[in-house]
Chain A
Amino acid sequence: MPDNPAVELRELTKSFRVRRATGRGIAARLRDVVAPQTHAVVAVDRLSFSVRAGERVAFIGPNGAGKSTTLKILAGILHPDAGTVRVLGLVPSHERYALAFRIGTVFGQRSQLWYQLPPRDTFALLGRVYEMDATEHRRRIDMLVALFELAPLVDTPVRQLSLGERMRCEIAASLLHAPQLLFLDEPTIGLDVSAKATIRELLRTESDRQGVTLLLTSHDTGDIERVCDRVIVIHRGRLLWDGTLADLRRSYLTAKRITLWTEAERLDVGKPGVRVISSHSYRTELEVDAEMTSLGSVVDAALRQSAIRDLTVEDAPLDVVIRAMYADADAGGES
């Protein structure tokens, strides 16, 4: 465990009581109202990890994996059933109020900006909420307006801003009180390619400049690749993976993609562990299982059939890696 982790979870467990219908008909419904039967659903199951100050961590998992529950526990909104949690040295369930001053949140699907008013009005409100000194409040606004290039936006009603402009303002609002830890939940959802790139760049910049720790949940692998250095994957409330992106790829992907542009119109590389993904005239795309066949032997086999004009070797996209990981976990859980 790091010396002064920004986030530290040990054996965190949280379950919810869910009502169960006992039957159909009026009598059963009345019984359900008077004496409801419930069962426990485990959302987070003995989860342990820690995050160093200043780290940028992707916290991912399929829907229902327990991500939101974990984030709510880290913010002090939910109380854990068991295990210990410390965020910035505080226990969220007991010190939520003090913690709230030191963390920020960005939710791609929820807005904290007042829709009819310019972002500057929300910034003024947040200055009060976070008890900021007036001079410091002005300084932070000026700094964030310059960094996020908000000058033309900050006095325009939110309803007139594009989604990308709005999200820049949202993130600026979340950073206004200079939080040490920022929780981001799908910060680029619904944005176009260029707006996504801008948001990712801004997050990295602010994290580098101020040493803000980022804990990001997203289903967009671009967010993970461009913003984060480390990935924590959970599945059914349990830790599935904790490591760097490169390690994640290496561990879960034995396959590589080779695309060959050849003098011959067609190639036939009949080797074990090689699958043809697509075959067009003078261009063949192969998936090679590196554990069964070396890449060199595949290229040798291709060279024996034709001169090669060009070739590329790529890892499979990150979403394929993650899909493979979830599939493995599902298969393990079912067996």
Chain B
Amino acid sequence: MNRKLMVLSKYVAFARISATHGRYDRSELYGRMAFFVVILGVFSSLWGATREAGLAIVADPKSLVWYLASTEWILLSAPLMHVDVQEALRRGDVAYEVGRPVSYVGATFAQGLGFVGSRSPLLAATAFLCAFAFTGWVPPWRALAAVVLFGSVAIALLTALHLAIGLVAFWIGEVTPVFWVWQKLLFVFGGLMLPIRLYPPIMQRLAAFTPFPDILAGPASFVLDGEAVAGRVLAVRLAMWCVATTAVVQWLYTRARRALTVNGG
């Protein structure tokens, strides 16, 4: 086998075993599916009531429910890699895992993608069924296909960003506060519940400098009638953030490895 293919097959094996493992560990998935039902039920009622009260809504309430289903699908599909890395570091497992003939960070990311592979399709099906049940409407199939395509890339990017946050644990030990701040920024600047165009202009301009809107609002906006960002622009921006995130993860891991080999795990 070609050397590069041989190396790639290691990470595919990690992704595959993680996907298989994920199929047996369903309690968290069921919790997330239940959360989907609740939050879409609440927001579809809220936007329905808003319209009945005669208040102005910038988009069709049905589209907004599908928008929320899409952003939540992306958010809930990405595994919390920072917890895995932090726990592995705390238990001292990282020091032993780097002794294998495989990149620790590559194997961890592959496991994250495998986990996404086992969970994301089920969450997508839940999102679809819930959004349809609450609205009685389905967006155009092309729009849904775009959400799935760009959303999948966004989930992979989010997984890598969670991994980067986890690597910070090499220096500060506890990354929960970092993740908490990160998550709130993602909710706000990513347009988790409402499209970015409803935000004040200054917020919109600020958000444009971050990856957040490209992770959540970008893919989800395809279900908003007439508001889909150009697919090509989104593809370029997502590719740019993927490259930047890879560089950051690599930089953090190189420094972490150096700290590990010099001062222990």
Contacts and interface: CB of A to CB of B under 8 A. Distances in A.
A75 B99 contact: yes
A176 B101 CA distance: 14
Interface of A: 16-17, 69, 72, 75-79, 93, 96-97, 100-101, 103, 105, 107, 110, 114-117, 121-122, 124-125, 128-131, 157
A129 B100 contact: yes
B210 interface: no
B102 A17 contact: no
Contact of A100 (B12, B100, B261, B264): B100
B21 A114 contact: yes
Interface residues on B, range: 20 to 34
28 contacts: A72-B265, A77-B95, A77-B261, A78-B261, A78-B264, A93-B261, A96-B99, A100-B99, A100-B101, A107-B96, A110-B92, A110-B93, A110-B96, A114-B21, A116-B25, A117-B21, A117-B24, A121-B20, A124-B17, A125-B13, A125-B14, A129-B10, A129-B13, A129-B102, A130-B101, A131-B10, A131-B101, A157-B24
Interface string B129-166: 00000000000000000000000000000000000000
B263 A17 contact: yes
B172 to A, nearest CB: 10
Contacts, number: 71
B17 A72 contact: no
B260 interface: yes
B254 interface: no
Interface in B17-52: 17, 20-21, 24-25
B13 A97 contact: no
B237 to A, nearest CB: 34
B202 interface: no
Contacts of B102: 129
Given A110-B96, A116-B25, A128-B10, A97 B101 contact: yes
Contacts of A125: 13-14, 17
B83 to A, nearest CB: 16
Chain B, interface SS category: helix
A122 B16 CA distance: 11
A103 B93 CA distance: 17
A177 B98 CA distance: 17
A77 B265 contact: yes
B87 to A, nearest CB: 13
Identify the interface centre among B21, B25, B91: most chain A CB within 10 Å of its CB: B21
B84 to A, nearest CB: 14
Contacts of A96: 99
A122 B14 CA distance: 10
A117 B100 contact: no
B264 A69 contact: yes
A22 B101 CA distance: 41
A271 B203 CA distance: 93
A124 B9 CA distance: 12
